[in-house]
Amino acid sequence: MKLAWCMPVDERSAIGRFGRLIAAELAQRGHDVTILASDAEPPAAAAPTGIRLEPIESDCAAAYNEAFDVVFYNIGDYFDFHGRILDIVDAVPGIGLFHDASILNLFLGWSRKAGLSAEAEERIVVKHCGGAGAHRLRERISDADFFRLCAELPMIDWIAERTWGAIAHAGHYIERIEAACPGPVAKIAMAYRPAQMAGLPRGPRREPGDLIVTTIGRVNANKCYAEVIEAIAASAMLRPRALYRIFGESQLADRAAIVALAETRGVRVEFAEKRDDAALTRCLETTDIVCALRRPILEGASASAIEGLLSGRPIVVADAGFYAELPDRHVVKVPAEVPVPALTAALERLADDPEGRHERGIAARDWALDTFSPERYCDTLEIFMAEFVEAKPLLRLGAEIGRNLAAFGFKRDDPAIAAIAAAAHGLFVGG
């Protein structure tokens, strides 16, 4: 098939790294793949061998419809990486790959660029998410409060209703997508395989008193750094032994706040800016425990958690969202609210059992290599593509009926719309 693969090409994007992996696998299977860069300002980048790369152009919608059998939209919650998708998604029917469970940031980036008033912005949010919290969109609030607002106002259906098919990477947000998307919807475990990650050695044999606990990913307010510091500080076993390493880009103010808390609690902390797979590999080679904690859960699936699993190191997660779906035998779970006593207990158990850490980590790595493989992802994706292509005539008919009804003044919530949609769906299922 001729495929358009819309994705960010900025090397900082985990979605971009995923996209390159899958685009290359699809090309290897004989598909004709073009990467359409969705970055607001696409940087200079090279495409994988045998794949064309060009920026999304809003005036090329008709050409895209003519040129491609299927258009894929990799949708994430950062306007600078995904903003160009919004220029064509209404005119170019395609499949949305929803990488995040909340896209409020993406919506707000689009709203501000489009020059929407606060009132117009709020009306759209209320339509999709209800009134609670929508009035706070332009208030000055803390980062932590904003993350909670993202959980309250996910805005997934704002784009899902404009796609003709959709894929989620975990089950915790798929129902919202299914309720909005008019076409087929599927869950596929995200593919992720950083170079070198699966070949990491067992780990350094340091002095028994040494322990390195690592959190991976850009520093922001929902990664529970304070809870990890407090958990280490609360333990007479952990406090003198543990070094807490934070591996990811950070703002000066965030780093200063984390350092200040660590100093008051007597916990050692260090920062390492994430640059490439090689730097991450070096970091994880000297890591004993990975903390992949989030509160609230805003991702669809978590690249950093998968990196931790693939490293063969034990990981600690919150029992919510994507992380709750990971097998209990392969990760250590603490309650969704990440209470410090529970986190302390989990870290102490792992710290006190190096052989158990190793065995758990290796088993988790083997499971992750199979579960999050690009081959497995594309096996399922190809089946879904075939279903989508078969469904496109009916979806096109439904879209045309919808436009005609709108022209006659029908609203989306009119009972007639539901009746017509059910009849059309029956034709598709029956066929």
Same domain, 69 and 159: yes
In a domain, 398, yes or no: no
Say what the pTM is. Answer: 0.91
Start-to-end Cα distance in the chain: 23
Range of the domain at 43: 2-103+154-191
167 vs 219: CA distance, rounded Å: 27
Tokens 């009746």 belong to 419
In a domain, 402, yes or no: no
174 vs 301: CA distance, rounded Å: 12
Same domain, 181 and 299: no
Query: Where residue 49 falls among pLDDT bands split at 50, 70, 90?
Result: confident
Same domain, 166 and 82: yes
6 in Cβ contact with 73 (< 8 Å): yes
Q: What would the pLDDT profile of 369-424 be if each residue is shown by its tens digit?
A: 999 999 999 999 999 999 999 988 888 776 666 666 656 666 656 666 556 655 55
Cα dihedral across residues 130, 401, 59, 92: positive or negative: positive
**Encoded tokens for 277:** 């797979």
Query: Where residue 430 falls among pLDDT bands split at 50, 70, 90?
Result: very low
Mean pLDDT in residue range 13-31: 95
Task: Identify the pLDDT of residue 429.
Answer: 47
168 vs 177: CA distance, rounded Å: 8
pLDDT at position 107 over 70:
yes
% of residues, the chain, pLDDT over 70: 88
Query: Where residue 260 falls among pLDDT bands split at 50, 70, 90?
Result: very high
Task: Identify the pLDDT of residue 47.
Answer: 84
pLDDT at position 261 over 60:
yes
Number of folded domains in the chain?
2
Same domain, 29 and 68: yes
